Structure formats: structure tokens, C-alpha cells
Structure 1
Amino acid sequence: MAKKKQQGPRTSRVGKRPVDVPKGVTVSLSPGKIDVKGPKGNLSKPIPDQVKVVQEGDQLNVTSDAPGSAAPRLQGLARALIANMVHGCSVGYEKALELHGTGYRAEVSGKEIICNLGFSHQKKLAIPAGLNVDIPKDSKGQKIILTGADKEVVGQAAATLRSFRPPEPYGGKGVRYVGE
């Protein structure tokens, strides 16, 4: 039998890479919290205590000095979340959905998205703060475009809309992502 190689303390490969901060985006660090402001919006998230974020010029470095098995994982997680915040505040995130089916359409009414998806009732989704919803006129309510600075909010709203009527495997009717 081959002898297993002893591994030293694990380090995060993702967490070691610096996060580039583009022009127009400001980052403010406080104990246990990071705030990112940019042209597309403002985001704030808590940072785990085992992780330290240091700003050096136009880069953010995430380090972890805490002993234990969770520290490297939290370092990689914190770095990925910070990178998503910086990207969202500078460029933003977008998800597009298509409605396939006879009579399937969507419209925005106040703070809700109202979908007619072949049920005897309408499906409604409250629009969360920081999410912009666009239904192009030329699509006749067959396409929904969600944009925002927070990747989590955009993705969750798109997943919720898709869950109202997932695409059928054979007929193809339902709500699907563009390109799915």
C-alpha cells in the first residue's frame, strides 16, 4: 500500500489572489464589515473574524492568521464575496429569462412581477431592493431582464421566477434562462 503524504496546514488558492478595485469604486473597511460604493450601487457585508482584509493601493488582499480548519475556507469565501461586491458595484450583474408557452407573459406592476404561466392564478414576485426589472416591449412579455449590483439578489430572484414553472424536458414550455 502506498503511504499517504502528510499534509501541512491547508491554504486557500482562491483567497491568496488579490481583488483589483477599478476606478470609480471606493472600499471602506471597518472591523467585521466591508462597504463597497460604485456607479452601479452600494453594498455592505460582514466579514468573518478569522479573516483580515488589507487595502494596498487599488488592490484588496485577504489573509487569514487564525489557526483551525475553517480559516482557509473562510479566507476563500471572503475573497470571493468581496470580488463579487466590487464587480457588482462597478459593472453590475444581469440575468435574462424567457417565457415559452402559449399565453405565458410577465408584467411589472408597482413593486411586483406578475406572471401568467398557464395556471388558474397569477404568480407574483415582490421585487427586492436593489433589483431592476426590465420587460422589453418588443418581447410581448416573453422576456424578463433582471439587473442589479448584488449577485445574490439577482440570482435568487431569477431562480425564484424560474421555479414558478420550470421548463418541461420534452415540450420545452416554462420559464428558462436565456441560452438554457
Structure 2
Amino acid sequence: MSRIGKQEIIIPDNIVVIINEKKILVEGDKGKLSHSLCELIEIEKNGSTIKLKIKSKTQQAHTIHGLSRSLINNMITGVSKGFKKKLLIEGVGYRCQMEGRNLILNIGYSHPVKIETPKNISIKVENNTTITVSGIDKETVGQTAASIRSVRPPEPYKGKGIRYENEIIKRKVGKAGK
């Protein structure tokens, strides 16, 4: 049985959780999120805790058990605290700016790269080299940050490119001079 799936989910006081058969709706200070559960998982709510149980002892049920628990926990964390990813731009002449809800990246290409912001996600640019992606849905925040990073991932020789705040880039030695 999944170790993650066995753990109870504690619901904070300011969060409302509504369970309708296989659909779970979580409402909080920052917004609303919903998720449909698999038919292999059973959910029960006892006061301020949620517990997930497996209906059948199959491999697929065990894998979905832990996944479902993590998704519901992320929903509760998202509507109460929110999620945030910070990206740093390194390189001479590399910069970014916001134009309405679009992010404009000038990162060494012959043209500026325009990235549209998904709904329920906010992107903030600080001092032209720091991008903060925040929202209530952990998956969307992570995917948006990954798509921004994929425009110019950091290269191993000089470290130029877009990287996450705590990302460590393995540096390579350049070619030896004569």
C-alpha cells in the first residue's frame, strides 16, 4: 500500500471541502479548485481530515492512491497559501518585461519571444532579470515556469540562460588554449 496515500489530509479552518461522489471541490481564500477521483479510490471526510482508501488491491489502484492524496493535498495548499516559482535570467543583454498579460523575453535571439500567461496564473518581473510565476494550481505554475525556462535553458559553459532560483548548473571546462 502507498505510504503517501495512507496519510491523512488535514483541512485548515478557512478551507471548505465539498465531496460529491467522485468529485472533490476545494474553496479557500485564493480561489476554487476541483478534481475528479478515479473509481478505484474511495474518499471519506471526518471533521477536519480526509482519508483515502483503495477499493481493489491492484497495482494501478496502489499507484493512483498516492497520486490522488498528493493532488488533493496540493489543492488544499494552493487555495490557502498558493504556489510560487522564481526564475533567474543570466547573460549579457538578456532581459524580460511584461506587456499586458504577456511576458516578453529578449534572450539572444534575433526576435523577442512572447509568452502568453495562462488564466489563474500571475507573472511578475522584478529588475528585468527575475521572473516570479505564482498561482493556486501547482501543476499549472510548474508547467508555466518550465515553458519559460525551455525558451533558453542554461548552458553548461558560461551558465547563460533561464534557470530556477535554486537550480545548480554543472559547469564544464572550456577547450584548452595553446
State TM-score, norm by structure 2: 0.90
Partner of 2:118: 128
Correspondence for 1:19? 9
CA deviation after TM superposition for structure 1 residue 110, in Å: 2.0
Q: Any gaps of 5 or more consecutive residues in structure 2? A: 168-178
Matched, 1:62 2:37: no
Extract structure 1 runs of 4+ deviating beyond 6 A: none
- For residues 137 and 59 of structure 2, the distance between their equivalents in structure 1, rounded to whole angstroms, comes to 29
- Are 1:113 and 2:103 an aligned pair? yes
Q: Which amino acid aligns with 2:146?
A: A
SS at match of 1:85: helix
Cα distance in 2 for partners of 1:90, 1:58 equals: 15
TM-align CA RMSD: 1.0
Report the Cα offset of residue 59 of structure 1.
Answer: 0.7
Greater shift after overlay, 146-155 or 123-132? Answer: 123-132
**Displacement of 1:179:** 2.1
Q: Give 1:153's match in structure 2, choosing from 137, 140, 143.
A: 140
Q: CA deviation at 1:102?
A: 1.4
Q: Which amino acid aligns with 1:39?
A: D
Is 1:92 aligned with 2:77?
A: no
TM-score normalised by length of structure 1: 0.89
1:12 partner amino acid = S
Which residue matches 2:23?
33
Residue in structure 2 matched with residue 164 of structure 1 by the alignment? 151
Q: What corresponds to 1:144 in structure 2?
A: 131
SS of residue in 2 equivalent to 1:54 = strand
Gaps of 5+ in 1: 1-10
How far apart are 1:172 and its partner, in Å? 0.7
Q: Secondary structure at the match of 1:102?
A: coil
Q: In the aligned structure 2, how far is the partner of 1:69 from the partner of 1:101?
A: 47
